[in-house]
Structure 1
Amino acid sequence: MKARLAFSVNDLAETRFAVSPMWEVVTSFRALAATVAPRPLRGWADQVRPRLAAAGLDRGWLADMIPPSGHLPDFLNPTPTAPSPGLSDELAAIEATDPEQVRRDVDHLAAEREGALPSRLRSLHRTPRSCLPRIVAEIEVYWGLAIAPYWARIRSVLEADIFHRGRQVAEQGTAQALDELHHTVRWAGGSLHLTERHCAITRIETGAGLLLVPSVFAWPRVLTRSVESEPPQLAYPARGIGLLWERRTRTQLEALTAVIGRSRASILAGLDTPASTTELAQRSGLSAAAVSQHLTALRAAGLTSTHRAGRSVLYARTALADALLTAQA
């Protein structure tokens, strides 16, 4: 299916970019729902799937609402009101969703599934206001297990993409930037043309402007959100996804080792994937007590962050630590 989104001068003037935590929640869960995760995401999926299964999130609200393909409930992706809203901001918007919007989304899911809806979605249709807080609570758990330990590096990729597109707009114009978003997106004759679309999107059905949202987990597709009176949203694969999970080489650590010591540099390198103290001890060859002591110092310096995953605590690198390691490349 093809779609055409006509642009006026005002629409172009109101076109903007934003980072959206909820787009990463929805697209990442969709990637996990697939039988085989997309190739660039398989390492991440292999780490996350056991955590979700242990928490029961592979059979919860998100599992009912986010299929491997087809309609994504629009209420899960509220329009970002800032260039980079926090997860709490978007969750508050979800909880405040108009019940009729929720029902429209559930009706759409029901149509795709020929009326066969799980009991949770039937309850959501009947009493949206009582169900939305439970959905929000599950999203918070999912975020802690699947996204938060990786968020620093994910956000860096998303922000770098927006910086690149913004410079492209300044140097070559908005039309050129739109034309190069994705191979299924083409600018021609004052309109944005989208191919390989699951459903149509037109200016008649949406508000003014356009919201462009880079995403790590949307790859390899462009996804859209179309809600009456709100600007249409396009979530597109961000640049640099292929390097996101790339491991550091030993030579990249030499300069950093001279500054913070070999043990702490080794621990940071071992956090290419978030890990517990025990896992880091196994990776580095240090005792768990020594790793814990180093992690305390690294956290105090703003180089690591902690995230609870069930009964375990996972440590992850911060954006500052990623920048220090990248500088050694």
Structure 2
Amino acid sequence: MKKLYLSALAVLMTGAIMTGCAKSESPAPAAASAASEATEEAANPPSSVTITHTLGTAEVPVNPKRVAVLDYSILETIDFLGAAPEIIVPKTHLPEYLKKYKDDSYADAGSLVEPDVEAINEFKPDLIIIGGRQAGLYEEFSKIAPTIYTSVEYTDFWNEFERVNLMTAEIFDKKQEAESKIDQLKTQAEEIHKAAEESGKKALVVQTNDGKISAYGPGSRFGIIHGVLGITPVDDTIEVSKHGMEIGFEYIAEKNPDLIFVVDRTTVVGGSDVATKTLDNDLVNNTTAAKDGKIIYLNPATWYLSGYGLESVPMMLTEVSDALK
């Protein structure tokens, strides 16, 4: 009898243990389900993505087949990422480093300032990408196709640079590639910042426009030189405005910068007085920058026409880095 009782007790204990094991393993089906969903999502990626930008929100197809790109910075990022949609692009003043898009295999959208809306409509794009120069046409373009706005706020350049490039990369399913390049550029920028601090040099950034001169300081369209790369401005009271603060040669002589960075708009849009001619006078030639050979003529194609893509920013960082050597 005692033996029978012990056998029954053993059976009951075994059952309890088995029940406990079953309860402790109960999350396994949920984990398996989550893994299954992740695998399914990888096998069947979303066909569209919701993009929120400064001017609104748009439902955008992933890897769109036909794209109107009216922002050279984004064009170069698409190029860098290896995405290959059919493209219509403004060919007037197209930068040299993007010259492949001058080929007849790419449709012409006119110019950045005056895009050919009719040609874009006839192209029947799946997506339209616009920059600051076309902001006023946002509503009109949105009637043609989903439209996103990719211009940046220069007062927060680096975060804005990351935002628009990762947004573009998400559309073309290339986010990992973009993140890797941005991390690389961030490291390079930090190295330049350190070199700038150690140099102790002060700089003036100017844009010349057919004989006229404007100064740009921190927070401006060329403010990356000061804010991100750490070169001290020779004048920290330069007012931030779209076209810079108008200055004369006497101002340059008075401030006497160690470095003068020059963006020559004339060579891009046309005119008779290029920067080298404009700045060739005694007041400028007697500055420390001129005497030390540190008047740096930046590439206006990257600094003026684009300036925040994954191909232009590396070139811009290299130019500033070289100026500090």
TM-score by length of 2: 0.30
Higher relative contact order (CA 8 A, sep 6+): 1
Of Structure 1 and Structure 2, the greater helix share is in 1
Greater Rg over alpha carbons, structure: 2
Of Structure 1 and Structure 2, the greater strand share is in 2
